[in-house]
Structure 1
Amino acid sequence: MSVRKYSFVCASDVEGDTIKCRLAENSKDECGGICNPPANFFLDEDACTMSYYPSASAVGWYGIALQIEDYYPGTNIVLSSSPLQFLLNVITASCASNPVFVDPTPKDGICIPISGTYTADLVAQPQSGGSYINTIGTTSPSGMSKTSLDFYNGSSTEKYVTVTWTPSAQQSGPTVYCFYAIDSSSKTPCSC
């Protein structure tokens, strides 16, 4: 098992407010029964990033409840607070044979400013001998399109899809999209 560090929100605000993240609190009835993250789970509230250092005894599913808040700049005045709940699945696995995303795929956890239309190639490569990429999927904002899976630039192993998105006026501000690859052995990359 290895350390996984994920950025789960782009820390930006169209008005320039300060964004912070915190664990949901039971005393405020925010967490719906999942108030305790697993041991070795750490949250950097200012950067809105979480780190998790799993142990072999921690295999299983965990519910995580967070609050994402924006503050009036330079103060402790909370302007809004939005819940974010998700599941964390800790498994015993080696990443050495899992597929990987390669250039020009956008790097994990980055924020990309968009003015107009966003287009990106998502390119995956298998790591196991005899395996091939059979799916590149996305969790996408409304209106994002994706091409069919195909070989990348004449490669016999790398496959890709192209995603295209023109945000509507109602979709201004930070938006998250994730992508994943599945190879013929049902393995996926070790990060989102």
Structure 2
Amino acid sequence: MRNQVFFYFFLFAVLNAKGQYDSSLSVNKRIVHPESYSASLGMLQEMQLLREQNQYLIKKISALEVEVARIQQNQNLNFLMLGVEPKVELYQNAPNPFQSSSVITYRVEDISNGSVSIWIYDMRGNEVRRYENLPGGLFSHRINAKEFKAGTYIYHLVLAGQIMKSKIMLISKQEK
């Protein structure tokens, strides 16, 4: 046992307030075999990759939120040019993210401007699903995750063919 070298460390990660991973080494686990040491290095590399992916996704979501706000502003201007100020509200789907189903709730006070629809697009801008001829007033529509692949989607509340409000939803990987 005198010639045997022991390495002590344990990898752990903490999600800080900015949503980034902080990794540290702590002395509290004995590693005897060299393959265990290389496996730990693999974990470190995987943690770094996950940290980079997380930062990329945070930047992408921020850019999407800006784009959604720009679309909402442009669409609301179209109604204002007609002299009609729509009374609509789109609430965040719940739960979000989800694996099986989620509920999108909206309120449309005046549907004299046309029918109410919900349009859902993937992150590439491809239309994935439309729910047409929905009722006005306060209404909740259930979305089944089986109709979609896991991923991030933008859903729009559409009134008379105009996008009024938009939100982002996340469907996590569905268990089989």
Which one has the largest radius of gyration? 2
Q: TM-score, normalised by structure 1?
A: 0.38
Pick the structure with more helix per residue. 2
**TM-score normalised per structure 2:** 0.40
